[in-house]
């Protein structure tokens, strides 16, 4: 990764609480149909630039990837699913306009089969993710949430999965206290 210095140790992501991840991409079904897939291909960088200019929208980080010469996708890390939804439905953002164009072309039968679009969104609860980075600059989840020395969360994956932030630990303690409340015992005569 140009411009980023590797950290010569092992680290883990400093994420706490739920993590919102969006995988979004496209597949070129017909290379010759450039006029159909090129606008889609160019739309994502435009949306990412738009989001970079307005950090309050909630995109924390992204990674551009390719799975083949036909398939391109982006892994995005968001502050919350609410911020992701808000961006996706905001009429003043480019995403809204791009989807309106795609939907209009689809209704006219102009895009079917030339370019594939997909996305998957995940909200991953704390305790259901872990990470390790060895001699790496901040990447992926760590670039989105910061990174800490591995020892702070545990040297083994199972220890990092078991890590709970103070906020999550407080919620868990509250739930345990709720479960301990026991209904009063009834006597043999039901009183």
| Residue 67 CB neighbours (<10 A) | 10
**What value does the mean pLDDT take over residues 12-30?**
95
Q: Check if the beta carbon of residue 60 is closer than 8 Å to that of residue 77.
A: yes
Banded model confidence at residue 3, pLDDT cuts 50, 70, 90: low
Does the pLDDT of residue 171 top 80, yes or no? no
Whether the pTM exceeds 0.95: the reply is: no
Please enumerate in sequence order all residues whose Cβ is within 8 A of that of 127, keeping only pairs 6 or more positions apart, or say none.
161, 162, 163, 164, 168
pLDDT number for residue 186: 53
- pLDDT score recorded for residue 92: 93
């Amino acid at each position: 990764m140009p411009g980023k210095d590797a950290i010569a140790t092992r680290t883990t992501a400093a994420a706490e609480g739920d993590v919102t991840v969006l995988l979004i991409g496209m597949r070129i079904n017909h290379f010759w149909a450039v006029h159909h897939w090129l606008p889609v291909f160019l739309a994502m960088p435009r949306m990412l630039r738009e989001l970079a200019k307005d950090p309050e929208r909630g995109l924390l980080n992204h990674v551009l990837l390719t799975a083949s010469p036909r398939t391109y996708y982006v892994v995005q890390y968001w502050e919350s699913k609410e911020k992701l939804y808000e961006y996706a439905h905001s009429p003043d953002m480019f995403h809204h306009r791009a989807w309106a164009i795609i939907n209009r072309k689809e209704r006219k039968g102009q895009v079917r089969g030339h370019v594939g679009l997909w996305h998957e969104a995940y909200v991953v609860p704390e305790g259901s993710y872990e990470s390790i980075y060895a001699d790496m600059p901040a990447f992926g989840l760590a670039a989105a949430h910061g990174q800490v020395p591995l020892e702070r969360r545990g040297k083994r994956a199972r220890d990092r999965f078991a890590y709970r932030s103070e906020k999550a630990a407080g919620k868990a303690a509250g739930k345990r206290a709720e479960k301990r409340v026991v209904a009063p015992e009834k006597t043999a005569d039901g009183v």
